[in-house]
Amino acid sequence: MAEKNGASLGVGMVGYSFMGAAHSQAWRTAPRFFDLPLVPEMRVLGGRKPEAVAAAADRLGWQSTETSWQALVARDDVDLVDVCTPGDTHAEIAIAALEAGKHVLCEKPLANSVAEAEKMVAAAEAAAQRGVVAMVGFTYRRVPAIQLARQLVADGRIGTIRHVRAQYLQDWIADEDAPLSWRLDKSKAGSGALGDIGAHVIDLAQFITGERITGVSGLLETFVKERPVATDFAGLSGSGGTERGPVTVDDAALFLARLSGGGIGSFEATRFAHGRKNAIRIEINGSKGSLAFDFEDMNLLHFFDASEDPATAGFRRIVVTEPQHAYVGHWWPAGHGLGYEHAFTHQVVDLVEGIAAGTHPAPTFADGLAVQRVLDAVERSAATGGWVEP
């Protein structure tokens, strides 16, 4: 394993599509803007197709390639394995890496089932006894405005949580002729909008409030049952032909929730909201005030203080770009906003600092399992029509 005091941290990544590109950018950028105790080195990129993975490695900045994830995990120059593959392979790769003594960063949702997630948590707990770190990639936690929202709640500025309203709205498959991809195949993705994007707002709600979801009542719907088969069946896009295949996941998910502190919540995830590209919206109403956030305006947080004079009170628009805000001081002068990719860099920073310090930065695999339990409960509730405990 890599040593501390500025030594290198050899990184191997499996997968190189959308998330692989985002993670690669973060590994490249983090040591250039943050003073890290270990220097990440992008040693090897893994993928099944030799020509495609070689081209991706050249484009994204990786030193070498492997066409077998087992070979990547076994390499002596790899200290950390970054898992950016479809959900059906998360458990196998992550557990093998942890058992080999490698730190692991695994994309969300943690797994395709509670049973898989439980095995991953057990492997992570065993590895932790040997100083090995495992983290799941709920990246939106590391948006500075989200960090500020969590701090305001922790400081008591909102008071007792009454309501949480959370939405994740996209439109990339609203076209009925958009082609099939692995994200629409339950055997690979585990679930549709619920797990792909609903997992994020579940995590954000629990992260910001510091509370757990203790019960759910859910509804799932698949609007388009068949789609053109994509030529590559690999990503978010691709040309569809005349052959059509079944969509085996949900297109939209809705559920009500009870929170551990006595509050209630409503959650929505859909990829059929025309005009909404990446609208992660969360509003929290408490006994002393409210917070509201929308990722499509990600450098802003809206705060309402109920103690103010009702005649002049209103939501305060906070521009979260000051150097005292989380992570921001390492970037640009105040007022120069951050973007989607910065949260991935912050994820790398927290992970590397945790590895060097011998701590286990959140979200841990146990946090990922907690979200997985909620996803499972929503599916069971949608099937039975009743309230279900995670």
What does the alpha-carbon distance between residue 107 and residue 193 come to, in Å, rounded to a whole number? 16
**Is residue 237 scored above 80 in pLDDT?**
no
DSSP H or E run through 288? none
Are residues 299 and 148 in contact, defined by beta-carbon separation less than 8 angstroms?
no
State the average pLDDT over residues 301-319: 97
pLDDT given for residue 242 in this prediction: 77
pLDDT at 6: 59
Q: Where in the chain is the domain with CATH 3.30.360.10?
A: 144-297+299-338+371-384
Assigned token pair, 318: 């906070």
Answer whether residue 166 shows pLDDT above 50: yes
Q: How confident is the model at residue 234 (pLDDT cuts 50, 70, 90)?
A: very low
198-218 mean pLDDT: 98
Q: State the pLDDT at residue 232.
A: 52
Q: Which candidate, 79, 129, 120, places its Cα nearest to that of 96?
A: 120
- pLDDT exceeds cutoff 50 at 106: yes
Q: Which amino acid is at 30?
A: A
- In the β-sheet with 8-14, what is the strand arrangement from edge to edge? 64-66, 39-46, 8-14, 80-83, 103-107, 134-137
Give pLDDT, residue 1.
43
C-alpha dist (Å) from residue 351 to 27, 123, 150, 209, 250: 11, 18, 19, 22, 32
pLDDT of residue 256: 98
User: For residue 278, what pLDDT is reported?
Assistant: 97
What is the second-level CATH architecture of the domain 144-297+299-338+371-384?
A: 2-Layer Sandwich (3.30)
Q: What does the pLDDT look like over 242-253, one tens digit per residue? A: 799 999 999 999
Q: Where in the chain is the domain with CATH 3.40.50.720?
A: 8-140
The overall pTM is greater than 0.85: yes
Fold classification of 8-140 (topology level): Rossmann fold (3.40.50)
pLDDT at residue 3, as a whole number: 43
Q: In the predicted model, what is the mean pLDDT of the chain?
A: 95
CA distance linking residue 196 with residue 176, whole number of Å: 19
Among 34-48, 175-189, 355-369, the range scoring the smallest mean pLDDT is 175-189
Q: Which of 275, 269, 311 is nearest to 296 (CA)?
A: 275
pLDDT of residue 4: 41
Kindly state the average pLDDT of the residues 200-209: 98
Tokens representing 354 are 């945790």
Other residues' Cβ atoms within 10 Å of the Cβ of residue 314? 10
The Cα 190–Cα 183 span in angstroms is 8
Long-range pairs for 7-10: beta carbons < 8 A, 24 or more residues apart = 7/38, 7/39, 8/38, 8/39, 8/40, 8/41, 9/38, 9/39, 9/40, 9/41, 9/79, 9/80, 9/352, 9/355, 10/41, 10/43, 10/75, 10/77, 10/78, 10/79, 10/80
